[in-house]
Amino acid sequence: MTDAMPAAMPAALELDDLPALAGLRHVAVAYSGGRDSSVLLHMACWWAARSGVQVHALHVQHGLSAHAAAWEAHCAAQVQAWSDLCHVDLRVRRLALVVPPGASLEAHARTARYQALAEMAREAGCDTVLLAHHRDDQVETFLLQALRGAGPSGLSAMPGDIVRDGLRWVRPWLDRPRAELEAHRVAHRLSHVEDDSNADPRMARNRLRLKVLPALRSAFAQADEALLTSVRMAQDARVCLDALAQVDLSAVRDPDDPQALSIARLAGLDPARRRNLLRRWLLDQGERAPGQSQLMRLSTEPLQAPDGRWATPGGVVHAYRARLRWVAQGDAVPRGAPICRVPLQAGRYEVPEWLGSVVIESADTGGIALAGVDAVELRARRGGEQFQSHTGGPPRSLKKQFQAAGVPPWARQAPLLWRGDALVLVPGLGVDARARAPDGQAQWSLSWEPWPAAGR
């Protein structure tokens, strides 16, 4: 790395006119120590030296390479060398990746990396993160998505400027080729690390970059420009399709449950618009992008299966009483949830084993008597439990009571609250009539509040 900041930089790579940086006092730079991120950090520090902005270099150590510690040390030395020339510091997050069976290492590492970058950016007080992706990366991403059978969303490749989870992610050089960044690195003698995994042919992106793209560019001189034109057209198409999906969603949402869809109204759309709407509906709830085969099933089968269920990447779509409802995996109660006790006194009691909270408040009506045992227990359904919905009515099985009250299947997995041997509360049905205290008598109101799924 050079010992001092140069007096001028190539205009093509300058960050001065980037709207996303206007008025910022802190900015984060994703910094792996590789060629491209080294150039980006160099430019960000040069800009910061003149503007007085604090730069936070964010380094994620995946722990997948034997050289990871050496790369981290290089990044620390590089940032230290520049700390006297501009306001820059280094933040590091070390990961211990455990890739689920059958999952993609590339995808799993990418998800973990962006999560770590977001955490470090927030800790540094930044709301903007700069990423060093360039035009060649964009071309590779488009081709990879095309080879995976992606639609307009995937073919849109990487956005240049997008807000996700409260952070702004900016890629200032998506229209600049890798060669320009490399020329800058060489001209300013910037040191960098070489990631040995970039030559691993087991990685799809590496095979594309090392074998396919050189041949494609040799055969078609304008390949990059043509592919980037397709990216821009896909981005336009995605915007239009998302707008259409929002129009259709406003017409198809169930009026009594904004998160649910009316199956009858969904059937009124043609198949292509149904698939487009369903994709947007799932994404808006935090689901991962469903595959085309899943969308094909979801757009047709619920019209004939009024009580079916369909697995999605991160949850389940339920059809129940003419409605479609998506339930995230994180909303499901863990198997084998144990019996848990909470004190029978006013307060909110978190029960992580059941992914929810018990809320106890004083009440004048509809509650249970204060006298008796001093705690309630949360238990799983075992079968055979009966619930009495109103005074004078017969106790009936929970299944029949749920059906009568219209409680959907995905809402029937909450714990049952017991007071000794007496069932006192069934979430979705309320307090059992046999346990209710007389009106006007001191009593406790009980309720169960499930936690929202993580990440939504």
Annotated binding residues: 32-37
Helices (H), 83-193: 105-123, 135-147, 152-155, 178-187
10 Å Cβ neighbour count for 425?
Answer: 26
DSSP state of 229: H
Which residue(s) pair with 325 in the sheet?
A: 318
Is residue 224 within a helix (H) or strand (E), and if so which, with residue range?
helix 223-252
Sheet holding 54-61, edge to edge: 88-94, 54-61, 26-30, 128-130, 167-170, 161-164
Instruction: Output the known binding site for ATP.
Output: 32-37
DSSP one-letter string for 394-423: PPEEHHHHHHHHT--GGGS-SPEEEETTEE
Rounded Cα distance, 167 and 128, in Å? 6
Rounded Cα distance, 435 and 429, in Å? 13
Q: Which residue in 191, 189, 209 sits closest to 199, CA to CA?
A: 209
State both tokens at 153.
């969303």
